């Protein structure tokens, strides 16, 4: 019998914020894929999952190059998919890990889309997203009742940012370091801002939380997120 391919979200970083389903799959999995890196550093997702693996689990290191060239990427992903397919054919169950949720800005979805072309069973296990974890951390609601919520990576979104800031009740901006000064200036000009919060390295030891837009103008880590809220729940407070 062919093995099954699992895409597993391990949650936002806190090892306790993984789901029971992910833990139950990991303890019996035959092979877990670990991205090969230059310095032989373990991936963040692998570090979280490692403690939940069974003693018999094999670790398969595959190279997933961090480049923007679509052709190089696509060829490498196809090559990796072929390696995975051959192991699935031998009856091995295989897990690919992602931080957060597999369907929200992960690399898993590329592999999944290639593997969809093979005759195999794919199960994706959802996880807690970084933005949900961040909102819980600071006890600020992301969206309530009929409010709208938008999630946007800052890269390439600067052009229509004004329109988005205008149209949405709640805005989560990922990767604000891409153009943080300009973003801070735009936020300062918003006249209906109820809440602003910037978190960096959420859930990690050197986590930082700031409610001051000026902090956004300084150097901020790549792993930062901004939440903007125009309406609040003030009437109930």
Residue 62 found at the interface with a second copy (CB under 8 A): no
Of 57 and 129, CB closest to a second copy: 129
Residue 82 found at the interface with a second copy (CB under 8 A): no
In the complex, the smallest distance separating the C-beta of residue 40 from a second copy, rounded to whole angstroms, is 27
End-to-end CA distance of the chain: 58
Contact between 142 and 172 under an 8 Å Cβ cutoff? The reply is yes
Taking the C-alpha atoms of residue 48 and residue 10, their distance in angstroms, rounded to an integer, is 7
Tokens of 83: 């390696």
Residue 139 found at the interface with a second copy (CB under 8 A): yes
Contact between 6 and 125 under an 8 Å Cβ cutoff? The reply is yes
Residue 151 found at the interface with a second copy (CB under 8 A): yes
Tokens of 111: 């592999």
Residue 120 found at the interface with a second copy (CB under 8 A): no
How many residues touch a second copy (CB under 8 A)? 70
- Which one of 136, 194, 204, 210 is in contact with a second copy (CB under 8 A)? 136
The CA distances from residue 119 to 7, 116, 122, 196, 223, in Å, are 16, 7, 10, 47, 37
Interface positions with a second copy (CB under 8 A): 7, 9, 11-12, 14-21, 23-24, 70, 73-74, 77, 101-106, 109-110, 112-114, 116-117, 122, 124-129, 132-133, 135-137, 139-153, 155-157, 160, 163-164, 167-168, 233, 235-237
């Amino acid at each position: 019998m062919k093995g099954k391919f699992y895409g597993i979200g391990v949650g936002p970083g806190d090892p306790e914020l993984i789901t029971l389903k992910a833990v139950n799959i990991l303890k019996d999995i035959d092979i877990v894929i670990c991205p090969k890196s230059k310095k032989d550093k373990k991936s963040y997702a692998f570090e979280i999952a490692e403690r939940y693996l069974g003693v018999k689990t094999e670790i398969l290191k595959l190279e997933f190059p961090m480049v923007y060239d679509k052709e190089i990427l696509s060829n490498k992903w196809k090559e990796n998919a072929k390696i995975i397919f051959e192991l699935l054919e031998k009856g091995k169950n295989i897990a690919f890990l992602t931080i957060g949720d597999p369907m929200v800005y992960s690399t898993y979805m590329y592999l999944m889309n290639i593997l969809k072309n093979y005759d195999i069973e794919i199960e994706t296990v959802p996880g807690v997203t970084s933005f949900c974890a961040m909102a819980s951390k600071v006890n600020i609601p992301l969206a309530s009742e009929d409010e709208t919520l938008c999630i946007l990576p800052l890269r390439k979104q600067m052009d229509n940012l004004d329109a988005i800031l205008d149209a949405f009740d709640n805005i989560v901006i990922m990767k604000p370091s891409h153009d943080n000064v300009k973003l801070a200036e735009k936020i300062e000009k918003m006249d209906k801002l109820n809440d602003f919060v910037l978190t960096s390295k959420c859930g990690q030891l050197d986590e930082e939380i700031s409610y001051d837009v000026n902090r956004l103008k300084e150097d901020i880590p790549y792993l930062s997120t901004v939440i903007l809220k125009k309406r609040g729940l003030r009437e109930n407070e």
